[in-house]
Amino acid sequence: MSDSETLLEGSLFEEPEDFRPPKPESHFTKYERKYCTPEAEKGIKEINLRLVGKSPLWGHLLWNAGVYTADYVEKHATEYIKGKKIVEFGAASALPSLLCSLNGAEKVVCTDYPDPDLLENIKYNVDHLEYPEAQKVIDVEGYIWGNDTSDVSAILGGTGKADFLIMSDLVFNHSEHHKLLKACKELIKPLQDGKARTGGKCLVVWSPHRPKPKMVENDFKFFSDAKEVFDFDVEMVEMVHWDHPMFPEDGPETEELRKRVYCYLLHPTW
């Protein structure tokens, strides 16, 4: 046998066990339910969420905007959630979707980028919610913003339209704004008898990720484009200051901006 044959027969192309760093382990965080009705509590006063160890898509953390969104869902469940069809984009831990199931949603399509780790983590949280009905109500689906929405519509059933569409902390993806808005327009329930604000609602909650003037300007461009390009009626609900900023390691000069959480609703005009 030649020397080259000996090399090829061995482990020339095998990576050493420590060649790649180990994948960060998933971790857990808790969400305390402060605004649910007695009917929606279902004996669950807090939700234990598993988060992926690390994600370039930011799915490994429960952001301020995510907690605000969860609180908003519980505060407005009677109006927007109970008996309704819901879609969540960029779900990460799926906390809003879990709360929608507890609050009596008819169907929830919980979506995120079709990354196996992210989707498996969402399914874990759905399966481990101490409310078996959630597994019947929530469908976990990989979805890339801007792509064909027919699979999501099929899961919703009926007209294939959502009564309520949730987007929590996605506005920082500036290159994806039009893709998100296109998907919203295709999936949201239209007006009833042409009357203003009688259709579905798109909830958009966000915090500035990059507190530089140009970056924040581009965050807000999501809403001007929603109105001018995609014909949404844009309603600013409120801006609140959270008790701690995003990215606490950043300097104090931008702390006030990083504490902000903005809430908007997009209403169809068609």
Amino acid, single-letter form, for residue 210 = R
pLDDT band at 136 (very low <50, low <70, confident <90, very high): very high
> Which pLDDT value is given to residue 26?
83
> Which pLDDT value is given to residue 1?
53
Residue with tokens 């609703």: 265
Q: Where are the domains of the chain?
A: 17-267
| CATH number for the segment(s) 17-267 | 3.40.50.150
Cα separation of 127 and 54, whole Å?
Answer: 21
Q: Collapsing DSSP states into helix, strand and coil, what is residue 219?
A: helix
Residues of the chain with pLDDT > 90, as a percent, come to 82
Lowest mean pLDDT among 44-58, 98-112, 144-158: 44-58
Per the structure block, which two tokens stand in for 18? Answer: 């420590």
Residue with tokens 């519509």: 153
**Which DSSP state fits 262?**
E
> Which pLDDT value is given to residue 250?
87
In this structure, are strands 138-142 and 107-112 parallel, antiparallel, or unpaired? parallel
Distance, C-alpha 35 to centroid of its chain: 20
> Which pLDDT value is given to residue 17?
55
Per-residue pLDDT tens over the stretch 163-215: 999 999 999 999 999 999 999 999 999 999 999 999 999 999 999 999 899 99
- Does position 12 have pLDDT exceeding 50, yes or no? no
Q: How far apart are the two ends of the chain, measured CA to CA in Å?
A: 76
